[in-house]
Amino acid sequence: MPHELSSAAGFEGVPEELIGHHFSSLGRQTEAMRLGMWLFLATEVLLFAGLFCGYAVYRFQFPLAFQESSRHLNISLGTLNTLVLITSSFTVAMAIHYARTDKPRAAALCLILTILFALGFLGIKAVEYAEHFREHALPGKYYAAEAVKVPGAAMFYTMYFLMTGLHGVHVIAGMSVLSYILWRTLQGRYSSRYSVGIELGGLYWHLVDLVWIFLYPLLYLI
Amino acid sequence: MRLSESDSSALAGAQRHLSYLEDGTTVMSWLNTRDHKRIGVMFLAAVLFFFFIGGVFALALRMKLLQPGPFLMDALSYNRLFTLHGVVMIFLFLIPAIPSAFGNFVLPLMIGARDVAFPRLNLASFYIYLAGAAIAIFGMVHGGADTGWTFYTPYSSTTPTQVLPILLGAFVVGFSSILTGLNFIVTVHTLRAPGLSWMRLPLFVWGIYATSIIQILATPVLGITLLIVAVERVAGFGMFDPARGGDPVLFQHMFWFYSHPAVYIMILPGMGVISETVCAYSRKNAFGYKAIALSSLGIAFVGFFTWGHHMFVSGQSTFNAGAFGILSMIVGIFTAVKVFNWVGILYRGAIAFRTPFAYICGFLYFLVFGGMTGVALATTSLDIHWHDTYFVIAHFHFIMVGASMMAFLAGLHYWFPKMFGKTYPEGWGLVAASLIILGFNATFIPQFLLGNFGMPRRYYQYPEQFQALNVASTAGATLLGFGLLIILIYLFIALRWGPRCEANPWGSKGFEWMTDSPPTTHNFDEIPTITQMPHDYRTHEAPGVIGAA
């Protein structure tokens, strides 16, 4: 974890109310916030780990069904969504860069773009979901797709909906985080002197992106 | 305890400051507080409430088991009751009991901090806990579940009882546990007082730190597992349903990946409390400080790789079973390291046989007994005989009730003056402790025998030849409950009308006693500089009240 902000020097002009009464310096507080965020991200990884573990078990148990069902997903939409999310990670990184270099308006613009990309991702995902519903390619007892009739195909869609569903919830959570830091950016809270808030929001968005980077090959490619 | 002159002047100085209890007395000043001490006290009240409820459930179960046949309640009520007993005791009492109540109160004091790193998150953790508890209570009122606290699939996804709210309650309470753990880890990393290096941290802090690691890394897995079961109940996804190609054993793996480490969430803080109180009541420096501190981390680490010992009879390979068995025994080694060091601290100490010390004695005996039977259970060949019998019940109650609850009670009595500035009646304390320890033995030793004779757990009816031992067990449970009731009464009286105590009634040199009792809102006027180990009894003058002058 970077500690370049740990020294108390260079914080003249940071508003008093930003520092909690129980912290000796803003550097200490920044360090605490970063550590807290990384620990929180660790819990998120473990949350998804349960599903990845389930995926591994059932892929091993039904290799053929998983392969065929995977071929049946709309790979171009999946790829497009991957590009959308990667680009959104880029724009959020740029937002942090602009905030740190005292360009709040550019930062806000980048955050708005990120939120739009997130919306775009959800839109494309909705198109895919609608397709699954039309084909009755649904989890568990609702599975009635004509295309793939191998036993275990229903389990593929169980895992598919659980994983993309939980990821979708995280995209929505991420959008709220992004909206919050957008609001704070518009208030002028982030600058070269203080930017940890926008940094942590960005970190969370990167995690949401990263989870998809794993979901995409597992569900669409292999 | 006589006050030295410097102590009384420090105390007189401290009177000018408002204690955290007096700083705002409206209900809102409590509900909206960011003060770790008030949050700790609120957690304490909440966990005591659920401890009471869980205890009533346990007594009702024991009453039914007086008779081998149908008695007092029907089979479904019995199933619901043991489920609720498990859920309430584990998720609402044991897991938050020591970390969220005592940890919140004393951890910042021990490391010389004014608060935990994220005070608002800390308050949120309390309300999330209450929300989860409320959802679970809603489920209980609407009929409760009959799956057992383990929620094994496919039964839990098909039974018509109210599994869903209970599941979701446990899921929500998990977030509270995660946030508390996260807060403590960050606090220990960033808010230690000057001079407080890692190898000077009080052993209770080490225990809580190790616990927090488990809370952060294991709880999310339980969260996703319970969520999947909930989805399964609502939408029939079939991930754990063998009728749809799902694997119920996968559920068991994912469930125990959390729930076995959760056992260490329940016992590691207790070990921390014992490490503190053993030093305080034998007036000795910690013997084998590093060994005690690092064995906590050792238990936290190896605890993640032992979950398979719950599944010796669910068809895992002999190799897996053997590996899980050996890994489980390593926990026994780390625990033994602690036990030997605690006994080393007692050796030639100036023992003050106060109420907490009685619980220390109980703790050591129960932990060793429970731990040894645990090692026996980790042996696959023996476990197949004992699996799902009362032997297992007795084993984990020795650890959970015998050890964890004893540590909780030791901490409650040790820190009661710290938290409220009042003293409890020592005589009644010892009476209650004797009743509890005696009653505990009478409750669970017969259960070891019952299990060895083959009586399965969770059964409503049993053969008549088991009745005598069951009656003995119920008699013991009544004694245990009576002891706890006495504590409840005298602590309540002490809280209202008890005599005011001095800042450090035990003469303890634990760091949390550096402040006044009860502490002021911001704990210290000036952050103390730590120059020695905690519980350093080699110097003879009493510890001054730092920062309260």
Structurally, what CATH architecture does the domain formed by A35-221 represent?
Up-down Bundle (1.20)
Q: What is the pLDDT of residue A7?
A: 38
Which whole number is the average pLDDT over B201-222?
96
Partner-chain contact B238 A141, CB within 8 Å:
yes
Partner-chain contact B189 A154, CB within 8 Å:
no
Say how far apart CA B407 and CA B338 lie, in whole Å: 14
> A188 burial class (0-12, 13-18, 19+ CB within 10 angstroms)?
exposed
Residue B166 has pLDDT above 50, yes or no: yes
Partner-chain contact A44 B217, CB within 8 Å:
no
**Which two structure tokens, joined as six digits, stand for A13?**
């002009």
How does the average pLDDT of chain B come out, rounded? 92
Quickly tell me which residue has 């899921």 as its tokens: B171
Which whole number is the average pLDDT over B509-515?
92
Share of chain A above pLDDT 70, in %: 92
Min Cα–Cα distance to chain B from A16, Å: 17
> B447 burial class (0-12, 13-18, 19+ CB within 10 angstroms)?
buried
Q: B395 near B373, Cβ under 8 Å?
A: yes
Query: For the packed helices B248-282 and B318-346, what is the interaxial angle rounded to 10 degrees?
Result: 10
Q: B501 near B11, Cβ under 8 Å?
A: no
Within 13 Å and on the Cβ side, how many CA atoms surround B117? 25
Confidence label for A112 from pLDDT (cuts 50, 70 and 90): very high
Residues of chain A whose beta carbon is less than 8 angstroms from a beta carbon of chain B are 20-24, 28-29, 31-32, 35-36, 39-40, 42-44, 46-51, 53-54, 57-58, 61-62, 139-142, 151-152, 154-155, 158-159, 161-162, 166
Say how far apart CA B212 and CA B208 lie, in whole Å: 6
Q: What is the DSSP letter of B459?
A: -
The partner residue sitting opposite A151, judged by closest CB among B225, B245, B522, is B245
Q: B534 near B286, Cβ under 8 Å?
A: yes
Say how far apart CA B122 and CA B39 lie, in whole Å: 8
Partner-chain contact B241 A140, CB within 8 Å:
yes
The partner residue sitting opposite A32, judged by closest CB among B190, B231, B236, is B190
pTM: 0.92
| Closest by Cα among B477, B407, B465, B409 to B441 | B477
| Closest by Cα among B364, B370, B371 to B346 | B364
**Which two structure tokens, joined as six digits, stand for A178?**
């992004």
The partner residue sitting opposite A47, judged by closest CB among B115, B191, B223, is B223
**Which two structure tokens, joined as six digits, stand for A208?**
């949401």
pLDDT in tens, A155-191: 999 999 999 999 999 999 999 999 999 999 999 999 9
The interface predicted TM-score of the complex, written ipTM, equals 0.90
Instruction: Name residue B73's beta-bridge partners.
Output: B71
Q: What is the pLDDT of residue A18?
A: 73
Confidence label for A144 from pLDDT (cuts 50, 70 and 90): confident
Quickly tell me which residue has 């042996």 as its tokens: B379
If phi > 0 it is left, if psi is from -120 to 50 it is alpha, else beta; for residue A103 that is beta
Instruction: Name residue A43's beta-bridge partners.
Output: none
Nearest CA in chain B to A24: B191
CA distances B185 to A37, B125, B190, Å, are 12, 15, 9
Q: Where are the domains of chain B?
A: 5-514
**CA-CA-CA-CA torsion sign (A27, A30, A32, A34):** negative
Helix or strand or coil: residue A39?
Answer: helix
Residues 6+ apart with CB under 8 A from B130: B46
Q: What is the pLDDT of residue B175?
A: 96
Q: What is the pLDDT of residue B17?
A: 73
Min Cα–Cα distance to chain B from A109, Å: 30
Residue A16 has pLDDT above 90, yes or no: no
CB atoms within 10 A of CB B258: 26
CA distances B54 to A212, B36, B84, Å, are 42, 26, 7
- CA–CA–CA angle B535, B537, B543 (5° rounding): 75
Which whole number is the average pLDDT over A12-38?
82
Confidence label for B539 from pLDDT (cuts 50, 70 and 90): low
| Closest by Cα among A23, A25, A17 to B114 | A23
Instruction: Name residue B389's beta-bridge partners.
Output: B456
pLDDT in tens, B61-73: 999 999 999 999 9
Residues 6+ apart with CB under 8 A from B42: B30, B126
Instruction: Name residue B520's beta-bridge partners.
Output: B19
User: What phi, psi does A10 have (nearest 5°)?
Assistant: 85, 15
Cα-Cα-Cα-Cα torsion B394, B400, B404, B405, nearest 10 degrees, comes to -80
| Closest by Cα among B353, B325, B421 to B20 | B421
CB atoms within 10 A of CB B197: 9
Q: Which fold has domain B5-514?
A: Cytochrome C Oxidase; Chain A (1.20.210)
Say how far apart CA B409 and CA B404 lie, in whole Å: 9
Higher pLDDT, B238 or B369: B369
Say how far apart CA B415 and CA B436 lie, in whole Å: 19
pLDDT in tens, B300-356: 999 999 999 999 998 889 999 999 999 999 999 999 999 999 999 999 999 999 999
Confidence label for A64 from pLDDT (cuts 50, 70 and 90): very high
Partner-chain contact B241 A31, CB within 8 Å:
no
The partner residue sitting opposite A36, judged by closest CB among B117, B244, B247, is B117
Q: How many CB pairs below 8 Å do chains A and B form together? A: 121
Partner-chain contact B221 A152, CB within 8 Å:
no
pLDDT in tens, B247-305: 999 999 999 999 999 999 999 999 999 999 999 999 999 999 999 999 999 999 999 99
**Which two structure tokens, joined as six digits, stand for B404?**
């964890």
Confidence label for A25 from pLDDT (cuts 50, 70 and 90): confident
Higher pLDDT, B24 or A203: A203
Which amino acid is present at B530? I
The partner residue sitting opposite A50, judged by closest CB among B244, B247, B254, is B254
Partner-chain contact B178 A23, CB within 8 Å:
no
| Closest by Cα among B546, B517, B535, B489 to B350 | B535
* Chain A partners within 8 Å of B233 (Cβ): none
Q: B417 near B499, Cβ under 8 Å?
A: no
Residues 6+ apart with CB under 8 A from A51: A159, A162, A163, A166, B224
Say how far apart CA B241 and CA B220 lie, in whole Å: 22
According to the 3-state scheme, what is the secondary structure of A107-170? HHHHHHHHHHHHHHHHHHHHHHHHHHHHHCCCCHHHCCCCCCCCCCHHHHHHHHHHHHHHHHHH
